[in-house]
Structure 1
Amino acid sequence: MGQGRLGWDEYATGWARLHGGFDPRKAGRLVRGWLRVSYVIGRGLARVRIPPAAVTFAGLLLCVSVPLLADRPALAAVFVLLAAMADSADGATAVVSGRATRLGYLYDSLADRLGEAAWLVAFWLVGAPGMLVVAAAGLSWLHEYVRARVVAAGMRDIGAVTVGERPTRVAVAFLGLLLAGAAEAVQTDLPAGTITVVAAVWVLLALVGLLQLLAAVHRVLR
């Protein structure tokens, strides 16, 4: 099959193999819609032979731009959304073009962690306390570390979809910066308080998600 000609059903099957067996066709409407948009973008990129690594790098550059735009939080939120789409599109490009590799998966995961760190730096620059930012980063990193280690221990299925997954972090970063931008239009000192509340929500969701994941791992591996 030629570049960019993989059908949706074939793509969904290939995507599921790379994501713990989770079938995107059975996801909720919002997630399914997001993944279908990613598929369309990935199919277009594959047709013009843009490599997945280039899309990953572009997404990382978008993430790095977010803290540089901390004085304009609403615009920073747009860059978070664009980076998240690039993150989905690089995997879609890899699957559609038949260029999914373990090395590409490693680089994609590394770019995700660096990107989230950049978003949290933006939170700090807008006004979130450093301790909250560090806690959010640490708990999110632990979530991904535990998932990676249990795979190494022999747990092959997804185990649990928690409230602390990557899509949740994307949504919190996007909405947090967007709300901070809206608060800035009301009063100049409101963004710091707004982003502090959102950072606390990030920490709470990350903690609950980590506990959910650990509970699922305990059930499976004991």
Structure 2
Amino acid sequence: MDPRPGADDGWSALHGDIEPSVVVRGWLRMIRALAAGPVLRVPPDVLSAAGVAAVAAALAAVAGPGWSWLAVPLIVAAGVLDGLDGAVALRTGRARPAGAVVDAVADRVGDVLLGVVLLVLGAPAGWVAAALTLVLLHEYLRARAQAVGMPGVGAVTVAERPTRLIVVAMAAGGAAVFPAGVPALGWGWGATFAITWTGIGVVGLVQLLVGVHRSIPPRFPRTR
């Protein structure tokens, strides 16, 4: 954990006042350890762009024959870079609204590229479209709810971006080890994890809707 007081508050401020969970706090601890030395001299927007480039490179890896395994470390690198941009912005005092916009746009571009990775791995276009539609609904709902000051959307759902990165990395890794498909099921890796992503997306959207519902103030004040 970053020993500086208020470090988690700074992360929350950059992410719409989301309160970090125990898992997120552990992730932040690792990212803050990496956000040191020469990394602090890299502009946060460059780190955001590098994260997108890493996902694009992962896409190129799965498109090339015999290179699916390379997509796994590239996707992991994309996740680390996605965390580093905010950590560097906080530590160097370069956090700004425009940077948050760049980060959000980079994340959505990266999400689309992750969907294309599954498409290249053989996922049906319909399942990929469903997974990406749920991502956009999830993020749009959270952004609009935060814009009107609803605190209930601060709960971290199962469908956050790290989960999406893990799902696609597992698909790429599985395709590298078992090119014929998922053992015992006979399904392609792209299709299997596009369906998995969609299922997780539905659960995450429901969790977010529950948070929004809880944040709606009662029409009339309660009286005893």
* Pair in the same fold by TM > 0.5: yes
Alignment partner, residue 83 of structure 1 = 78
Greater Rg by CA: 2
Following TM superposition, where does structure 1 have runs of at least 4 consecutive aligned residues deviating by more than 3 angstroms? 6-10, 20-24, 156-159, 187-192
2:28 to 14, 27, 35: 35
2:214 to 213, 219, 222: 219
Residue equivalent to 1:115: 110
Offset of 1:146 from its aligned partner? 0.2
Matches within 5 A, 1:162-177: 162-177=157-172
State the Cα distance separating 1:65 from its structure 2 match: 1.4
Change in 2 beyond 3 A, CA 1:181/1:9: farther
**CA-CA distance at 1:32 after TM superposition:** 3.1
Aligned to 2:43: 51
Q: How many angstroms does 1:203 deviate by?
A: 0.2
User: 1:27–1:21: structure 2 CA closer, same or farther, 3 Å change rule?
Assistant: farther
Check the 8 A contact 2:16/2:146 in 1, yes or no. Answer: no
Aligned residues between the structures? 211
Q: Given that residues 117 and 168 in structure 2 are in contact (C-alpha distance below 8 angstroms), is that contact kept between their aligned partners in structure 1?
A: no
Residue by residue over 1:70-91, the C-alpha shift from the partner in whole angstroms, topping out at 9 and shown as x without a partner, is 1322211211110110000011
Match of 1:68 in 2: 60
Secondary structure of residue in 1 paired with 2:188: helix
- Cα deviation for residue 8 of structure 1 reads 4.3
In structure 2, distance between residues paired with 1:218 and 1:153? 13
RMSD: 2.2
Is the contact made by 2:134 and 2:205 (CA closer than 8 Å) also made in structure 1? Answer: yes
Cα deviation for residue 157 of structure 1 reads 5.4
| Counterpart check, 1:135 vs 2:130 | yes
Counterpart among 204, 209, 216 of residue 209 in structure 1: 204
Unaligned runs of 5+ in 2: 218-224
Do residues 199 (structure 1) and 215 (structure 2) align? no
1-structure distance, mates of 2:139, 2:211: 14
In structure 2, relative to structure 1, the CA distance for the partners of 1:19 and 1:189 (3 Å cut) is closer
